[in-house]
A = this chain, B = another copy of it.
Amino acid sequence: MPIAKASHYRYVFLMIEDRIWTAALVIIGDEILSGRTQDKNISQIAIWLNIQGIRLSEVRVVPDVESAIVEAVNALRVRHDYLFTTGGIGPTHDDITVDAIAVALGVPVIVHPRAEQILRDYYETRGGLTEARLRMARVPQGAELIENRVSGAPGIRFDNIFIMAGVPSITAMMLDGLSGKIEGGRPMMSESLGCWVAESEVADLLRRTEQAHDGCQIGSYPFFRAGKVGANFVIRSTDHEQLSKCVVQLTEGLAELGYASEPGGISPTG
């Protein structure tokens, strides 16, 4: 009986350990959809989430249109552990994220007293808290603040939704303030091998090597540099030992086919 009990607990432990935490990201911004601004938030949020043990599983970029924001937020907040949004929380007329998310949640928008105080302090020596600036203290009722020291204006947390700034340097400060504060699982680890080979030459090797290592994924990312064909192979796993074995076997497999590989990968742009 004690043995069965121990075994039972070990099983539960493994179940918890292997839980995959996921997040979605909604980028709210006409400037991204017009091509004027090249997005930087997907990669910085993806990398930050991975360190927290959370996998970015889906991203949507939507225009500054209430119905589009409402639809994306309601679709994604229920099927991921966390939903992040960026953009549309400034003081101008095109900043409608808070109102749209309040509509999605079915709650009113209120002025958050602590946010108002933060803004009042911040703007005390910067021309005062105008009506436009007070807009940045508005939150869906029931929300908490995510403070940021760059611009005063806080981000907003409501349940599993994190409403962040769109300017990448401010987004980064808000992420920094959240580090270690939200629950995740085991981070996904990855190693890269770069190789001057057409990926089609080694497609079978990649497939076989991935299949031979449980829980490992091998991605193949071809590039063309100075008239030469190359590829980076990215091996990903939450299990360090499996990851190392997979990298060794892929390195050996490439060598057997006559291709040297470079640990860490090759820069596609030289």
Chain A residues with a Cβ under 8 A of chain B: 27, 30-40, 42-47, 50, 55-64, 68, 90-95, 126-127, 130-133, 135-136, 150-151, 167, 169-170, 188, 190, 198-201, 203-204, 206-207, 210, 217-224, 234, 236
Contact = CB atoms under 8 A, between A and B. Distances in A.
Contacts of A27: 59
A200 B119 CA distance: 12
A-B pairs, 7 with minimum CB distance: A35-B46, A132-B203, A35-B47, A59-B61, A91-B200, A93-B207, A92-B220
A234 B31 contact: yes
A123 to B, nearest CB: 8
A35 B61 contact: no
B42 A56 contact: no
A188 B39 CA distance: 20
A30 B222 contact: no
How many copies make up the complex?
Answer: 2
A147 to B, nearest CB: 17
Contacts of A92: 199-200, 203, 206-207, 220
B58 A42 contact: no
A122 to B, nearest CB: 11
A42 B61 contact: yes
A125 to B, nearest CB: 13
A94 to B, nearest CB: 5
